[in-house]
Chains A and B, each alone.
Chain A
Amino acid sequence: MPAPVLIKPDREFRNRLIASGGEDLKKCFQCATCSVVCEVSGASQPFPRKEMIWAQWGMKDRLLGDVDIWRCHQCNDCSQRCPRGARPGDVMAAIRREAILHYSAPRWLGNIVSQPRLLPLLLLVPCILLVLAAWARAPLETFLGGSYTPNRIIISYWSQLPQWLLIAFFAPFLSLVAVVMILGVMRFWRDLKARDREAGFIGQRRSLAASIRLAARSILLHEDFDRCTSEHSRMNSHRLVLFGFLGLIVVDLWVLTARFNPLLRGAFAYPFNFWSPWKILANLAGAAMLIGCTLMVRNLARAGRSGALFAGTWFDWMFLALALAAVLTGFACEILHYLRVDPFRYAAYIIHLATVFALLVLLPYSKFAHMIYRATAMVYAAHTGRQSQGGLRDSE
């Protein structure tokens, strides 16, 4: 007989879960309909039933280090079928939020930046700073001893905000974000292993390389989205956003590394020519992201009206709103540039940069972090041999 495990319910944690989307979690009476219905959950270690009882009893450590909350793709099949209206899908989302805020340290910073009423500040501050930087460019250049813009490669949307200045502005924040994420992922991985040890789970192990390949494949093919029955349209909206985002990143990286690029000897001026393949890619990617975000907004709003499915908490809406703002301001920049509307195109540029900045700073503390944590969890799941077996599909 194993020694009894001391249970220490964490009331505050439970109350936070209830306050951030899991209002109905107390209604669960452990019938396991949700676990049976879940398409992602496998036969061993099924979920989200266990997460519901852990949530009811405030089992914080178990929930935060649980890989299954991230295997969940918020498809809402469980919430739709729950006979008590306990909405396990919403509870899983609330737990994920807690996990993000827990692993992306420091928590106080996370609490500050992720409050919706501070969002205007989060946009206003970088705007002001960028304007100041633009104004300070010339004295700075003098101070630093000359222009850093090689005249072979001209990357300047606006000469007042040359590339080097932007890089200098964004680099510290990028590094901070990178550090926070790396630390977060390391702690997360450690906790995942600890929970499995505690639970005595031993699956069929795969090598890390194979797991990464498997997870990448699953992510790109959107396999888990495809399994959802009640909200299959989310697969399309997420695909659009993901691939749009990837496309935009690729173009951005091309521009950022232009000076080191051997393929561009003396033949690069930015902004691109409209018919340049890079520009075409950027426009297509931007359009994809725009359509995807719009679809997401529409789906969330529709689900909210029907009342049955996940309507999103402010945690979700903030990320979505920022992403949408970034894309819209990006297109605004392009349109205003072609129309040569002079004061406004530079203003649009600054606002666009500010939204990108906000997204970056919020990366570890907002829903954006799911990109990293979910990917990590999927790699871990593949690494420890967790299988997904169909829920409804198998029985139909």
Chain B
Amino acid sequence: MTPNKRPAWLIPAVAGVLILLPFAYSLGRFAWVRTFTAPKPFLEIASAPSQRCVRDPKWMRQNHKIFLNELRDKTVREGIRSNVTLNSCSQCHKDKTRFCDKCHQAANLHPDCFDCHSYSAAGSPAVLLRGGP
């Protein structure tokens, strides 16, 4: 063939790059989001809380879902009440928008807690009855 034929690996290389491009994009985006767009929840601690958090932030960050579910089960289903209640937590954790939602929205999560429980800026988390549980 003619001497200035383009090399045989050129087209497969181009194809390979095109095929891998979306992977690279997704991977890159994930890494970017992970690194640079970490959620920053804001917490304003009350001047004189009646009690402290039952666990440290790290533990809470990881296990708050189970903690809350177990709390619910104990409280509502088994009837064991303690001094750890939603109201007591909400003394500090009162602003859903600036605290809870930050992580939840970033991770595209929709915990169904908020289907019933709502936070008003004023006070205690009340059970909001919205057409039934």
- List residues of A whose CB falls within 8 A of some B CB: 151-152, 220-223, 226, 239, 243, 246-247, 250-251, 254, 263-267, 276-278, 280-281, 284-285
Contact = CB atoms under 8 A, between A and B. Distances in A.
11 contacts: A220-B12, A221-B12, A243-B11, A246-B15, A251-B22, A254-B22, A264-B26, A265-B107, A277-B25, A278-B26, A281-B18
B36 interface: no
Given A221-B8, A222-B8, A243-B12, A267 B19 contact: no
Contacts of A222: 8, 12
A281 B19 contact: yes
B30 interface: yes
A266 B106 CA distance: 9
Contacts of A226: 8
B43 interface: no
B47 interface: no
Interface in B74-123: 107-110
The DSSP consensus for interface residues of chain A is helix
Contacts of B21: 277, 280-281
A260 B42 CA distance: 32
B108 A278 contact: no
A266 B25 CA distance: 17
Interface of B: 8-9, 11-12, 15, 18-19, 21-22, 25-27, 30, 107-110
A125 to B, nearest CB: 33
B18 to A, nearest CB: 6
Contacts of B109: 152, 266
Contacts of B15: 239, 243, 246-247
Nearest to A221: B8
B8 A266 contact: no
A152 B22 contact: no
A247 B9 CA distance: 17
Contact of A278 (B12, B22, B27): B22
Q: Which 6 pairs of residues, A with B, have the shortest CB-CB distance?
A: A266-B108, A243-B15, A277-B22, A277-B25, A278-B22, A263-B30
